[in-house]
Chains A and B, each alone.
Chain A
Amino acid sequence: MLARIIMVAYYLISAFFVLVTVQNLLREKDSRDRVVLYLVTLIPFILRLLRIK
């Protein structure tokens, strides 16, 4: 039961990170490196949210 709660919490945290990272991506004006960094960071969270990996 505890593991299931943690699993659900993990999906919620993943969704939160995706939201915040996309927000930062949209706001970024100065650094191209940071744009790439945000996109790299997004990949594992999106794959987990889509239940692919």
Chain B
Amino acid sequence: MKTAGTGFKLAMVAVFMTLMIAGGLPLREHRQFPVEIVCGPGVKEIRNLSDYLPSLKGTAADTPVFILSGKEPGGAVLVMGATHANEPEGLLSVAIMIENAVVEKGTVFLIPLFNRSASLNTRPGEGYPLYFSIRTPWGQKKFRMGNRDASPLDQWPDPDVYIHYPEKQMLSYLDIRNTNRTWPGRRNGLPMEQVTLAAMELLRQQKVDLAIDLHGAETMFPVTNCIVAPEKSMRIATLASLTVKSMEGFENHLESSPQKFRGLSHREIGDYSDTLPFLLESPIPFLDQPTGAKTEQLFLDGRDEFLLNLSRKKKLFVPYDESGWSLDRRVGQHLSVSLEIIRQYSRKNPDRAIVIKNVPRYSDVVNDGLGSYFHQPASADKSRVVKL
């Protein structure tokens, strides 16, 4: 048997150092990669979630809140993206609003990366790409692909069983890092409980009428391509669903928020504030388990031969054909449904109306491509560029 001499040890250390640097550097770069957003003419103020809960200040969980306000007083809406950072449709929809929207009446609060720590987390074990890029008229715009849960670098250890506060329901240990299980949050809780509590404080202090949480889900999961709403939001959600179907030609069915499943935004925001919550799900073929390789292309166009086969066997919960389910469609749906919820609420409550202009709708995004609604950070006024 050969002995482990100094030469062998040095050679092995060199091999392992090379492997660790080759594997570790991309992860480190991902955590430091800035997503640049160009503030449009509607952005009047930028705050942080820590302004509503100071204990978040200086942590990776703190995240910017963009405030767009109109000349006329009215109602208020909060739109959140990247509650789950592996569902970037929300981030892209909110970013398009930040870069383009002009508010004429009321106030719009926009949080593009609600779980910012999760956006710094990766999922290389499942073969997820670290980034994705979208084509714009001025070149490729690159975004971090995040994970569903906050990074263990920012919140750890996980409990054996996560006991939800304040309802005491027992949930999976992993969900303590999932900001769609930690609503309504806890002041002295773990960082993700503080993130949701900060958002609850924002909703209460600013008397926000509507909260829209943007998500995406597998095509094989029944709660996909839909609006999830509790009883108090159902009327507005129904009107929005019917209107986008009749006027814009796409389905977005309704799902009732379960009363006994705790921690979700569409349940707890409604139960613990006066705000009407809505959670939008768009279908993301990339998230399905039985697909081919998890490539950037699959994320962008949503085309997969295995899903197509399953669709023919009626195993999917959305219509699916050779055209797949593109990112443009997913983002377009989110924008149209969000605008429709706001419009329907404003019609029913004229004294609390919110009027937003310049936000593209479904057909605009599908026809023009979502990249055409992003502005080039390099040629923008530096004071208007925010790095997330």
B157 and A6 contact, CB distance less than 8 A = yes
Question: Which residues of the other chain, B, contact A48 by a CB distance below 8 angstroms?
Answer: 153
Q: Is B12 interfacial (CB 8 A cutoff)? A: yes
Q: Indicate with 1 or 0, residue by residue over A2-43, a CB within 8 angstroms of chain B CB atoms.
A: 010011001000000000000001101111101110011011
Any A CB within 8 A of the CB of B315:
no
Chain B: interface residue total (CB-CB under 8 A): 22
CA distance A9 to B28 in the complex (A): 23
User: Which residues of A are found within 8 Å of B4, using beta-carbon distances?
Assistant: 28-32, 34-35
Shortest beta-carbon distance, B47 to chain A, in Å? 26
Q: Main SS of the interface on chain B?
A: loop
For window 67-126 of B, CB contacts with A under 8 Å fall at 122
Structural contact, B8 and A43, CB atoms closer than 8 A: no
B264 interface residue per 8 A CB criterion:
no
Contact residues on A (Cβ < 8 Å of other chain), bracket: 20 to 34
Tell me if A53 and B16 are in contact (CB < 8 A).
Answer: no
Nearest chain B CB to A9 CB, angstrom units: 10
Closest to B25 in A: A52
A-B contacts, CB under 8 A, total: 56
Check A36 against B24 for contact (C-beta < 8 Å). Answer: no
- Per the bound structure, the CA–CA distance linking A31 and B31 in Å amounts to 38
**Chain B contacts of A51 at CB under 8 A?**
153
A1 to B188, CA, bound (A): 8
B13 at the interface (CB under 8 A from A): yes
Q: Which residues of A contact B12 (CB under 8 A)?
A: 35-36, 39
- How near does chain B come to A29, taking the closest CB pair, in angstroms? 6
State how many angstroms separate the Cβ of B14 from the closest Cβ of chain A: 10
Contacts of B3 in A (CB 8 A): 29-30, 32
A7 and B156 CA atoms in complex are apart in Å by: 6
**Does B27 sit within 8 A of A, measured CB to CB?**
yes
B24 touches A50 (CB 8 A): yes
In the complex the two chains form, what is the Cα distance from A1 to B194 in whole Å? 13
User: Complex Cα distance A3/B27, Å?
Assistant: 25
Distance in angstroms between the alpha carbons of A34 and B2 in the assembled complex:
12
Given contacts A30-B4, A39-B16, contact A52 B27 (CB under 8 A): yes
CA–CA, A4 and B122, complex, Å = 22
Contact check, B16 vs A43: say whether CB atoms are below 8 A apart. yes
Q: With a CB–CB cut-off of 8 A, which chain B residues contact A40?
A: 16
* Residues of chain B in range 315-365 having any CB-CB distance to chain A below 8 Å: none
- Report yes or no: A35 in contact with B9, Cβ–Cβ below 8 A: yes
Instruction: Give chain A residues whose Cβ lies under 8 Å from the Cβ of B28.
Output: 50, 52
A interface residues (Cβ-Cβ under 8 A, vs B): 1, 3, 6-7, 10, 25-26, 28-32, 34-36, 39-40, 42-43, 46-48, 50-53
20 inter-chain pairs at a CB distance below 8 angstroms, sorted by A residue, are A3-B157, A7-B157, A10-B156, A28-B9, A29-B4, A30-B1, A31-B4, A32-B3, A32-B4, A35-B8, A39-B12, A40-B16, A42-B16, A43-B16, A47-B27, A48-B153, A51-B153, A52-B27, A52-B28, A53-B24
With A28-B9, A32-B4, A36-B12 given, can you name 4 additional A-B contacts, CB distance below 8 Å? Answer: A3-B157, A3-B190, A25-B9, A31-B1
